[in-house]
Amino acid sequence: MKRLALLLSLVLLPAAAAQSNRQITALTLKHDEGTTTVKANPQRIVVMDEEALGWMFALGLGDRVVGLASSYLSPTDISGGKVKPALLKTGFYARGRLNNPSFVGSWTAPNLETILALRPDLIVRLTWDGNQNYDKLSKIAPTVGYQEGGPGFWQKGLRDLARVFGKQVQAEQIIKRAADANRADARKLLSAGVFKKYDKVVVLAPFSGGNTWAYSRVRLIDDLRALGFKDGLRLGTATLGIGAQISDEALLGIDQKTLVVLFPPGGQYNGADAFLKTPVGQRLQAQSVLYTPEAFSPYSGPLTSIRNSDEVTRLILDKLK
């Protein structure tokens, strides 16, 4: 019996070693738009928005982005089909290493011919109910999409990409850094007595044109909850799972113990200055802070979360001085 066991071990050990040394060549990801098989460690990535770009930056893989879609960019920002090099040194784009990516349109109107010509190995995008072009993009390359209003939105997207690139340790480190930043800043606010003056918070996004949104998930509000604030408004059904347009009447009902964080959208959509000149803006000004994100910044993600926590904490502490 001992001799038989020895013979079996001699046969099985090389097979086990070969199995452990065998490299994974493909992975299957379950995401918010389906199930997709992706080859391991792809080299040519198209990101359909700054959210996906932020995940690539967090993993140190910005130089693999060959195509970038954005709703921030205008025709004057593009030259020869590429994002102008000067812009890549500006705002959020400067957070990682970008290697002259092509502009592939906006997230709602991608240029499919341009994307096809780039021969991507993987396409990554934020999505929502009613978003289009997934089938068309999937015919070009494996495509994964993540709903912004979904639970653990950016953490899931980041972790899935980390598996694809073999960067799981780095992903967990940056997720922990974001959580640590929130905890450290929460202690600063508590020590300064902020919650005695403002125990609740509301995040308002004033858009150019006069519409104002209140965010209920993902967009800055999650970081403010992590800092220790309670919700200052009850919103109805959230559009796209992230917030709702809010009336002036509702804004006038905000009590004085609720901190108002104005978090305008970027670029041409920023309506913060106009909002502060309205009667509602004037009424809320004494309890408001204006937090302007970086140019070309995504709304969420680990790098954004760290900046959100540190910068909003600084603004609040400065307001109470």
- Do 193-320 and 23-166 fall under one CATH topology? yes
d(CA 182, CA 188): 10
Is the domain spanning 193-320 CATH 3.40.50.10470? The answer is no
Measured CA distances, 103 to 106, 114, 134, 156 (Å): 9, 8, 18, 26
> At how many degrees (to 10) do helices 302-320 and 168-191 cross?
10
d(CA 242, CA 264): 15
Task: Give residue limits of the domains in the chain.
Answer: 23-166, 193-320
Which tokens sit at 239?
């559009």
Provide the pLDDT for residue 8: 41
pLDDT at 83 over 70: yes
CATH topology of domain 23-166: Rossmann fold (3.40.50)
Q: Each residue of 147-192: pLDDT tens digit?
A: 998 888 999 999 999 999 999 999 999 999 999 999 999 999 999 9
d(CA 145, CA 157): 8
Q: Which of the four pLDDT bands, split at 50, 70 and 90, describes residue 302?
A: very high
